[in-house]
Amino acid sequence: MLASVVRLTRDLDLAEDCTQDAFVRALRSWPDEIPSNPGGWLTTVARRLALDRMRRETNLRRKLPLLVEDPAGPDDEDQPTDPLRLVFTCCHPALARDSQVALTLRLLCGLTTREVAADLLISEPTAAARITRAKKKIAAASIPYRIPADEELPTRLDAVLTVVHLVYTAGHVAAGPELTRADLTGRAVELARLLVRLIPDEPEPQALLGLLLMTEARGDARVSEDGELVLLADQDRSRWDTPMLAEGVSRATAALKRGQGRFALQAAVAGLHVTAPSWEKTEWRQVVRMYDAMMVSWPTPIVALNRAAAHSLVPGADLEAVLSELDALGNEPALKSYAYLPAARADVLARLGRLQEAADAYRQAVTLTANEAERRFLTQRLAGLPE
């Protein structure tokens, strides 16, 4: 909806206001019956509200030059690339990378500022400031609302891929009572497919789509019949979506043959998990090698944390050395509020027999997670520690 209204207004704030107002109209107008096409109804109302605002304020002539693009066709036509246009607009190189990601998560995915902050591991005021700065920059610089020309794609592709991946991450473990948000994970897969169609010869969009499909294919097995979180180690692999898994593996394999970008390497890790006969027979040394390669091209604290967690599962691993790696990561500002760090420490400490320290780490992880299913899981792990 927002992307469609932006195409009409060329003004992000006006489009966002009218999109929200359309939902208010729906709450007032649908007491007895929902229209047969709710999305179409909402989009039409939002666009009419935008036109009314533009006429009433007599600023149509002033607004249209913003975000200038070639004519996109009649205003009432559906434009399947609208969401992708909005992503590329938000990921314009004139914007700082951190602002690109925050703005896209806010506008395209409808995440609250608090959810954006949680997804990016930053404070809520910082997220709000980034979003505001990005909107002002787009308006001031007349950044075009369009998919870039071929020669412009390389400067924006990595940011766009990062945003799509973060959209999926935000839905894969959502803040709130439900483990996942299918609207976000579905939107991320949709955007990844659009990117592959737009840039079929680039390996990284293929790799990202493969990664998302392999993760999505395991979705049903992540939740037990009573709604509890099930880790990969304990999942019933017969519940995985076999056709989706096969497509994901195929796309990831094709991407790996053409390069070893960070999404290709992440897809390789996912592939090692889903093609292993069981959790116990996973090739953990190979998983660690993939993370070693990622640390060369993408040396982030989260990659380092994932590498340490995988290292702890290598047969015969020195768990004290792994614990030292995890303790060192505790100094990383980006991981101060990241629940998976104390959860990983708790697991290693429990395996070392340091049960009181493991309990303390589990308690810290419980306080940091924003997802109720994860909180229950961690609480059960804490309660299950030997006396």
Query: Mean pLDDT in runs of 10 for the chain (387 residues)?
Result: 79 85 91 86 90 70 48 46 76 84 79 80 88 87 76 82 89 85 90 90 95 96 90 94 97 92 96 95 97 94 96 96 97 92 97 96 95 94 91
Q: Would you state the pLDDT for residue 69?
A: 42
Question: Quick one: pLDDT at residue 385?
Answer: 94
Exposure on the CB side of residue 229, measured as CA atoms within 13 A:
20
Position 161 scores a pLDDT of 92
pLDDT at residue 85, rounded to an integer: 77
What span, in angstroms and rounded, lies between the C-alpha atoms of 365 and 337?
9
Output b/e per residue, 116-155; b: 16+ Cβ within 10 A. bbbbbebeeeebbebbebbbebbbeeebbbbbbeeeebee
pLDDT value, residue 307: 97
How far apart CA 80 and CA 191 sit, in angstroms, is 10
Looking at residue 350, its pLDDT comes to 97
Residue type at 261 in one-letter notation: G
pTM recorded for the entire structure: 0.80
Tokens linked to 44: 């039409």
Q: Are 78 and 87 in contact (CB under 8 A)?
A: no
The confidence score (pLDDT) of residue 67 equals 45
State whether residue 70 is helix, strand or coil.
coil
Residues 46 and 1: their CA atoms lie apart, in Å, by: 8
Q: How far is CA 359 from CA 207, 234, 352, 366, in A?
A: 38, 22, 13, 11
